[in-house]
Amino acid sequence: MHLRSSGGFLRNYSLKTKTFVLLACIVLLATLPPGLYYVTTIRALAHLGASERIDETLSWALDHQSAGAGRAAAALALKEYRQVLVLRESIVRQVVLFSIFYTVFVAALSLTVGYLFVARITRGLVNLTEATSLLAADNPLYKIESTEGGEIGRLINAFNTMGERLVQARQEKIMAERRATWQRVARIIAHEIKNPLTPIKLSTERLYDKFLNNAADFPQVLQSTTGTILSEIENLQKLVDTFHKYAKFPDPVLRLEPIREVVEETCALFGTEAAIAVDLAPDLPSINMDKGQIREAIANLVKNAVQAVEEAGWRGEIRVRCAVVGDYVEIAVTDNGCGISVENQKKLFQPYFTTKIHGNGIGLALTERIIHLHGGKILCESEVGSGTTFTILLSTKGPYHGQDTRC
């Protein structure tokens, strides 16, 4: 089941930022409009009753009152009116100033408290996100210590449980893969050993039979069966040497060598065995490498290409291209053979993995190891029925630095 997650204009920001922005919008909406309305109203009130005619009328009344209580009352009224006019402006100014600062203060306080609150409630999720990233990056289990309750607390508990199970599942998978690899290796070795054993057994039985029956052709049989036995023993020896070579592969001895020469020499090894088109860029540099190992790596790829077009059964085309791309020398071996399925591409560089009838699954594993030791990369692009391209990337800058290679 897929859940669609919508983005929005804040999609690249953290949950804390988003929540804080939401809070800020609410605070501003809650404080600014009433604040503005309040200030506008107060300022309007400042002009209420401000009329020169009132002053003139009160002065006239004062002048025309006869002496006594009436005149004193008129004088007081005029005094109070003028006092109001003067003090009202100051009071309004004070109120406006106070209102503005109070609004700003309340907004700032709300945002500060809100920020702390948001930081508090999103802390669990932030921890959860980090732990999930660590777990996704194949790190050891990162258990979240939390005293959170509610949904986030349950989520963290669920994550911890899930993490434990995931780590357990990973360990089981690694064990299963290791077991499967050993089984495959054992099967291949058994098969490879069994092949020469059968002719050895048959030859020995035949020789024994001839010897018991004092056969007249015993010397000839002895000669031919001994030849067969020795030949098969030699095959067995080669098999053991191949496995031994992979198991104890030496570190490369790096020297500055012209890559052009290495590619040309390697392709020439195949002579007329296959039609190989070699396309070498004119500006190829010398790079730090173990010439013998790189030659072996390229040879393995070319050999694979030759076998791929042979298995396909149609007229094969093999192309070896070498050029400088950025800081790398790129060596691409392309064939139009039967191609490799996506499933098999994932296992290409596993030792002893092969899809060939007579293969031992060492060639590509060895090639990958050589390139890895040279700090390079090996890539594979393939389509079933169309062909395959293996690309080696070797750095033109300095010695190897050991990087992962991927298909």
397-407 as b/e, with b when 16 or more CB fall inside 10 Å? eeebeeeebeb
Q: Which is nearer to another protein, 102 or 249 (CB)?
A: 102
- Judged by CB under 8 A, the residue of 101, 117, 182, 208 near another protein is 101
- Judged by CB under 8 A, the residue of 21, 39, 54, 75 near another protein is 75
- Judged by CB under 8 A, the residue of 14, 17, 40, 83 near another protein is 83
62 binds another protein (CB under 8 A): yes
Do 45 and 92 meet the contact criterion of CB atoms below 8 Å apart?
yes
Amino acid at 258: P
> Could you say which residues in the range 161-220 bind another protein, by CB under 8 A?
none
303 binds another protein (CB under 8 A): no
Q: Which is nearer to another protein, 87 or 197 (CB)?
A: 87
- Judged by CB under 8 A, the residue of 28, 42, 54, 85 near another protein is 85
Piece of the chain touching another protein by CB under 8 A; list 40-48, 91-99, 136-144, 363-371: 91-99
Residue 238: which H helix or E strand, with range? helix 218-247
Q: Which is nearer to another protein, 42 or 152 (CB)?
A: 42
Q: Helix, strand or coil for residue 240? A: helix
The contact mask relative to another protein for 334-373 (x = CB under 8 A, - = no) is: ----------------------------------------
Whole-number Å distance between alpha carbons of 209 and 203:
10
Q: Helix, strand or coil for residue 249? A: coil
With CB under 8 A, what is the number of residues at the site for another protein? 28
Residue 115: which H helix or E strand, with range? helix 69-136
Whole-number Å distance between alpha carbons of 235 and 233:
5
108 binds another protein (CB under 8 A): yes
Piece of the chain touching another protein by CB under 8 A; list 73-81, 162-170, 229-237, 260-268: 73-81
- Judged by CB under 8 A, the residue of 45, 97, 162, 268 near another protein is 97
- Judged by CB under 8 A, the residue of 16, 82, 123, 303 near another protein is 82
Piece of the chain touching another protein by CB under 8 A; list 102-110, 192-200, 304-312, 341-349: 102-110
Q: Which is nearer to another protein, 30 or 104 (CB)?
A: 104
Do 27 and 107 meet the contact criterion of CB atoms below 8 Å apart?
yes
Q: Helix, strand or coil for residue 148? A: coil
Decide the pairing of beta strands 318-325 and 377-383: unpaired
| Residue showing tokens 């009753």 | 49
Decide the pairing of beta strands 318-325 and 276-280: parallel
87 binds another protein (CB under 8 A): yes
| Angle made by CA atoms 79, 81, 86, in degrees to the nearest 5 | 95
- Judged by CB under 8 A, the residue of 43, 47, 79, 346 near another protein is 79
Q: Helix, strand or coil for residue 269? A: helix
Inter-CA distances, 83 with 79, 89, 110, 261, Å = 6, 10, 39, 105
- Judged by CB under 8 A, the residue of 56, 80, 172, 311 near another protein is 80
CA 117 to chain centre: 33
51 binds another protein (CB under 8 A): no
384 binds another protein (CB under 8 A): no
Count of C-beta atoms within a 10 Å radius of residue 332:
19
50 binds another protein (CB under 8 A): no
Positions touching another protein (CB under 8 A) are 62, 71-72, 75-76, 78-87, 89-90, 93-94, 97-98, 101-102, 104-105, 108-109, 112
